[in-house]
């Protein structure tokens, strides 16, 4: 399903998971993602899923652990350079699927590189008594300022 939406061949993916969080084998595949909007909107219609976060365990820069891209065209965001909610889901996904049994995982994520708006986010996921708690942070830069008028 995601291979067609992201216009990548099936061998790009680590595993075939019908989730909002989609792992790919390395950053070269991440850079090739090109959303097939017709299929994407079919997914939105059939499932209600509007956000697709794609990640690779192949960072953009030293000191980072993961590279991420996030797409949500149905929300008016063709691609987001820094996604708090999406990376929060990624942190929960990573600790849920962690095979080491660690109670806490921490990651530094690079996002927005492919669109020329690089960002860095810090993720922490903690598992305790069957509950996953997520913390994330980062820095932002003002790119526009305005006033809403009715």
What's the chain's length in residues? 150
* Domain spans of the chain, in order of start: 2-138
C-alpha distances out from residue 149 to 53, 145, 146, Å? 33, 13, 10
- How large is the average pLDDT for residues 99-115? 92
Q: Cβ distance 138 to 124 under 8 Å?
A: no
The more confident residue out of 139 and 117 is: 117
Assigned CATH for 2-138: 3.10.310.10
Neighbouring C-beta atoms of residue 68, cutoff 10 Å: 28
- What's the whole-number mean pLDDT along residues 13-41? 83
pTM over 0.85: no
């Amino acid at each position: 399903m995601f291979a067609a939406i992201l216009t990548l061949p099936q061998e790009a993916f680590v595993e075939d998971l019908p989730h909002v969080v989609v792992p790919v084998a390395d950053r070269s595949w991440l850079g090739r993602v090109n959303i097939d909007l017709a299929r994407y909107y079919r997914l939105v219609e059939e499932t209600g899923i509007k956000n697709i976060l794609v990640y690779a365990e192949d960072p953009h820069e030293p000191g980072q652990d993961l590279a991420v891209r996030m797409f949500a065209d149905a929300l008016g965001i063709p691609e987001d350079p820094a996604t708090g909610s999406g990376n929060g889901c990624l942190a929960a996904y990573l600790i849920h699927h962690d095979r080491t049994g660690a109670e806490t995982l921490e990651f530094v994520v690079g996002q927005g590189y492919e669109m020329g708006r690089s960002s860095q986010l810090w993720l922490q996921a903690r598992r305790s008594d069957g509950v996953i708690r997520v913390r994330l942070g980062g820095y932002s830069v003002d790119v526009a300022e305005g006033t809403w008028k009715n």
